[in-house]
Structure 1
Amino acid sequence: MGTLPAKPSLDQLRKRAKDLARAEAVKLSEAQFRIAREHGFPSWPKLQAYVRRVTEHGETLQHPYHQDVEYYAERALGLLASAEDETPGAREPFDRWDQPLTRDGARVVVAREHGFGSWKALREHVKSLVDSGEPFARAYRAVEARDPEALETLLGAFPGLVTARGTNGNDLLGMAGATCDERLSRVLLKHGADPSRGNVHGWTPVHQAAYSNLPHLLDLLLDAGAPVDVPARGDGGTPLVVALFWGHREAAEKLAAHSQAPGNLRVAAGLGDADLLDELLKPDGTLSPAAGEHRGFYRPHSGFPAWSPTDDPAEIRDEALAWAARNDRVDTLRTLAARGARLDADVYRGTALTWAAATGRVAAVRTLLDLGADVNHAGTFGGPNHGEGVTALHLATQSGHLDVIRVLAESGADLGARDGIWSSTPETWAEVCDQPAAKALLRSL
């Protein structure tokens, strides 16, 4: 495979084709075809189109890489959501291309960022992406296949890939983290990938490792100099906060050893930091000003609905209770409840009990029930098309947390409760979510 520099020159490629045609006594079209194939492109026109796009847009170009056309529509909506949340990096492309904060405006932005004049042109290109030979798309497929050898070969042939960006500014290092295969990240770091670089949402490889609960990958990134206090998807959205949002204790504790920012009440609750908790929340329920600061981050992706956190003390206490529950911080649950947190409050997409059930936190489930949480409380959870009118039992069943199912059932959970969207029982959720053990357990109760 021939090497194509990060800034390829169409003039140089044309000259090389002419030289090859003369030296080999072949037609120019044949020489052009050989050069295109040497670089992995199916034809000279495909190579030309790629080089023109790279030359025109330079390092700001976003390379399409996903073969599903609807993927780009979803990314446009995600970009719009982040822009509406006032994430700086997400707002900038709308200003750059003078587009409104609308669905159509977001689609135009995504098309322009990829080097195409219209949404239609981007869609047409994506339809033939698998056969295009474009290096970034090929590298993405190597990442998806968890193939470090293929990725190494591509980085050798196309050194610019290590700094290139895909849709919404995602680079290969960030994508590698999503595969949970640390070998890919090692290859990219060896070739000079930047562990501190974020996408348009501010999401860095460290955020991704926290999101996926990969403490060993965090070690690799931190050793490479990656920062830990960079916010994403809103003020206060550090990697630590991302880990705590999902109840990923291993990743959270790894990150907390480097920084506990932002030091608000939900972080103190998620970490079970009793000293910080006492600083932020007094025994009479009074909050210090720092308790509710830096809560602009409230969702890890646009699949969650929009929300505006407030400075309401009850909301801040209740949110912290849910963060303590999903991280199984039993002592913290008792402290928060004693200081005014409401056990069945559904501040944002889930009560403390539903979060504890969804994340399989048996000790937290028992503690909340002992404190008086309603085992059959129906509320929200996750995305708006998923969790409306759901109980803790629905969510424990969805994830196959058998110990939690038993505890809930022993505490009087309604086995026939129906959710508010699908009107389905926990047993149906077990079947739909491919949890045969959970289904069998429910039938035996």
Structure 2
Amino acid sequence: MPDFRRAARALQRAVRAGDPDAIARVATRHPAGAPADPAGFALTAAQLVVAREQGFASWPRLRRYLDTVASHGWDSRTAASPAAHPADEFCRLACLTYTRDDGPDRWSAAGGMVTAEHIWAASAAGRPDDVWRLLARDPGLAGARGGPFGWRPLLYLTYSRVDPAPAEADALAVARQLLAAGADPNEGHLFDGLTYPFTALTGVLGNGELGAARQPRHPYWHSLAGLLLRAGADPNDAQGLYNTMFLPTTDHLELLFAHGLGTAGRGPWRSRVGEAIPPPDELLRTQLRWAVEHDQHAKVRLLASHGVDVRSPFTAAGPAWAPGDGRTPLELARLYGHTEIAELLVEHGAPAPPPDPVQNLIAAAFRADRPAVQALRAEHPDVVTRAHAARPGLVVWAAAHSSVSTVDLLVELGFDVNALGRADAPVEEPWETALHHAAGAGDVSLTRHLLALGADPQARDRRFAATPLDWARHLGRPATAAVLEEATQR
């Protein structure tokens, strides 16, 4: 966790010394703008700037968040270190940790060493008789920290993926026993000090950036989530919503909507970290944007039917994959050729966007509509040049989310097949080439096709300085690795 107090003092010194970059930071973040007298720049003003840079409205709110981190933070490095005590080691292996170590091998290893020597292991193992015995001796254990991660028992239960799993009735019985003994249904931790809490509900819903195989739902996710929600868990679970947005499934959203998702409640985590967690309507708008851009038709329909705003442009500042760029959901749907979603948004009242030749050209390309492309070029002779400037890495996104016909058309239009872009979000950021994506995805046909279009097998991505072959090997894609090995030997 950065030392924000030191950062504020350093900013104050830099402004007083006349550092132009420091003064520019103040001009951007302080409500009064750049200081009229840099030599008299106050520490309280520097603290406000630092707080706003971290997403907080004031220094006291940032301080309150830091206090929350001190009391609820979790250091993920503990997941990598074997524990000396067998029951602790069982918990370490049994639980989903949202680190790179997650995967079935750990959970099956835990399944071969089930132990219930303490309340945290008994909870992770889903053993109600042992949990009952331990709670009868000391009811306070339901809210006690312990085990290898310093979590409370409810988190070990909800993050457990031990293989073989306990019976559903046993897992639910443990949850009921812990809740009856005083466990908090909103129990959670701040992963390495991040602002979104990883709650018990987050653990039950599972999923995430490593995919469903390595970060699956709890085997009894629906019944366990329902139990937590009925006990008072906040359905506006920011981290749970983020982790589940990558897949087109909607059943988790249906359950959350049934228990108040989107309503402006104020759960305990919102009180603890304040504006670091976006309000419910903003969380759902982020879900909508991802679903529109990634052609998740059923999810868009569900969100729209529950009143999520499909009309307004996206203006709230967010991460690179959800920028406040002023585009509307309908503009995005048309931009990436998602015709069915565009029609659905119109049905729900989305207004037609103003004509934009560049966006229309890209949309036509994503439909592989050559006549429409030619018509736009005839009407707007500079449209292709403007599209190159606006989206230089477009081939990467097209390779990941559209057809080979679209990739071919873009290359014919002069888009660079070796451009660096992002495959996970339709934004311009120089991460990897289209060939890196194809190699990492294990798509042999696309890999061969990109090579035929002139993709460079020796190109290195910007994040890891790795070649497409490195990606294929690292991600366990032997088929694309073989194609790339052959290509690099020519």
TM-score in terms of structure 1 length: 0.52
The one-letter amino acid paired with 2:460 is: R
Partner of 2:127: none
| 2:397 pairs with 1:355 | yes
Equivalents in 2 of 1:183, 1:132: separation in Å? 24
| 2:301 pairs with 1:281 | no
Match of 1:408, SS?
A: helix
Q: Kindly indicate whether the alpha-carbon contact (under 8 Å) linking 1:210 and 1:239 is maintained by their aligned counterparts in 2.
A: yes
CA 433–133 in structure 1, closer or farther in 2 if over 3 Å, else same: closer
Equivalents in 2 of 1:232, 1:81: separation in Å? 25
- Mapping for residues 312-327 of structure 1, pairs under 5 Å: 317=359
The one-letter amino acid paired with 1:175 is: G
The one-letter amino acid paired with 2:458 is: G
Q: Which among 99, 105, 110 is matched to residue 69 of structure 2?
A: 110
Equivalents in 2 of 1:333, 1:254: separation in Å? 34
Match of 1:213, SS?
A: coil
Q: Which among 226, 235, 238 is matched to residue 197 of structure 1?
A: 235
- Mapping for residues 220-369 of structure 1, pairs under 5 Å: 220-227=255-262, 237-244=285-292, 248=296, 251-259=299-307, 261-263=309-311, 264=313, 265=327, 267-268=329-330, 269-270=332-333, 271-272=338-339, 273=342, 279-282=352-355, 285=357, 317=359, 338=376, 340=383, 342-345=386-389, 351-359=393-401, 361-369=403-411
Tell me which of the two structures has the higher relative contact order, counting C-alpha pairs closer than 8 angstroms and 6 or more residues apart.
1
Q: Which among 111, 123, 135 is matched to residue 153 of structure 2?
A: 135
CA 182–336 in structure 1, closer or farther in 2 if over 3 Å, else same: farther
Equivalents in 1 of 2:420, 2:461: separation in Å? 8
| 2:197 pairs with 1:169 | yes
| 2:251 pairs with 1:216 | yes
Partner of 2:221: 184
Partner of 1:158: 178
| 2:63 pairs with 1:98 | yes
Partner of 2:213: none
CA 228–409 in structure 1, closer or farther in 2 if over 3 Å, else same: farther
Q: Kindly indicate whether the alpha-carbon contact (under 8 Å) linking 2:203 and 2:218 is maintained by their aligned counterparts in 1.
A: no
Q: Kindly indicate whether the alpha-carbon contact (under 8 Å) linking 1:213 and 1:250 is maintained by their aligned counterparts in 2.
A: yes
TM-score in terms of structure 2 length: 0.48
Q: Kindly indicate whether the alpha-carbon contact (under 8 Å) linking 1:228 and 1:239 is maintained by their aligned counterparts in 2.
A: no
Partner of 1:392: 434
Q: 1:258: how far off?
A: 4.3
Q: 1:189: how far off?
A: 0.9
What stretches of structure 1 of length at least 5 have no aligned partner?
Answer: 1-79, 100-105, 116-125, 286-313
Q: 1:204: how far off?
A: 6.3
Q: 1:129: how far off?
A: 3.5
CA 187–336 in structure 1, closer or farther in 2 if over 3 Å, else same: farther
Match of 1:431, SS?
A: helix
The one-letter amino acid paired with 2:420 is: A
Equivalents in 1 of 2:260, 2:423: separation in Å? 36
Match of 1:136, SS?
A: helix
Equivalents in 1 of 2:218, 2:480: separation in Å? 29
Partner of 1:27: none
Post-superposition Cα deviations, 1:286-310, rounded to whole Å, max 9, x if no partner, equal: xxxxxxxxxxxxxxxxxxxxxxxxx
Equivalents in 1 of 2:220, 2:476: separation in Å? 30
Q: Kindly indicate whether the alpha-carbon contact (under 8 Å) linking 1:397 and 1:405 is maintained by their aligned counterparts in 2.
A: yes
Q: What RMSD over aligned residues (CA atoms) do the two structures have, in Å?
A: 4.8
CA 236–198 in structure 1, closer or farther in 2 if over 3 Å, else same: closer
Q: Kindly indicate whether the alpha-carbon contact (under 8 Å) linking 2:432 and 2:461 is maintained by their aligned counterparts in 1.
A: yes
What stretches of structure 2 of length at least 5 have no aligned partner?
Answer: 1-48, 75-91, 93-144, 191-195, 207-215, 265-277, 314-326
Equivalents in 1 of 2:446, 2:51: separation in Å? 35
Equivalents in 1 of 2:371, 2:393: separation in Å? 13
Equivalents in 2 of 1:262, 1:355: separation in Å? 23
Equivalents in 2 of 1:162, 1:188: separation in Å? 10
The one-letter amino acid paired with 1:402 is: V
Q: 1:330: how far off?
A: 5.2
CA 243–278 in structure 1, closer or farther in 2 if over 3 Å, else same: closer
Equivalents in 1 of 2:250, 2:201: separation in Å? 16
Q: Kindly indicate whether the alpha-carbon contact (under 8 Å) linking 1:379 and 1:390 is maintained by their aligned counterparts in 2.
A: yes
Instruction: Report the identity percentage.
Output: 20
Q: Between Structure 1 and Structure 2, how many residues are aligned?
A: 303
Q: 1:85: how far off?
A: 6.3
